[in-house]
Amino acid sequence: MNIQIFGRNKCFDTKKAQRYFKERRVKFQYVDVDRYGMSRGELTAVKNAVGIAAMSDAPEVAYLAYDGDKLEELFQRPELLKTPLVRNGRQATVGYCPDVWKGWEST
């Protein structure tokens, strides 16, 4: 497994996600999205896995008509992303999803 957690330092679900993987001794890379953001490739990979609607419920994104515009807005303003975004290769989740992550452990 190659786990990446994109989150915020003050987000409780991000802390819970980190604790979940630490307790199972699964190595992960943590990225503070407020400080470092996400690359276009990472953002696109998460969008392909979960869909653009799941990544943000901010009105600043919802009013945009095209997915490309929404993705660009999220790239420019990572503070609009829901966290944690947890990525394992081509698979990804938004929020605290231990049931999904448990399935990743067996693969």
pLDDT in tens, 52-107: 999 998 898 888 889 999 999 999 999 999 999 999 989 999 999 999 999 887 65
> How far is C-alpha 81 from the geometric centre of its chain's CA atoms?
8
The confidence score (pLDDT) of residue 104 equals 85
Cβ–Cβ contacts within 10 Å for residue 27, how many? Answer: 9
Query: Distance between CA atoms of 50 and 26, rounded to whole angstroms?
Result: 22
How many domains does the chain fold into? 1
pLDDT tens per residue, range 19-48: 999 999 999 999 999 999 999 999 999 999
10-18 contact pairs (CB < 8 A, 24+): 11/83, 11/84, 13/83, 13/84, 13/95, 13/96, 14/83, 14/84, 16/96, 17/84, 17/86, 17/96
In CATH, what number is assigned to the domain containing residue 41? 3.40.30.10
Structural domain boundaries, residue 92: 3-105
Mean pLDDT taken over the chain = 92
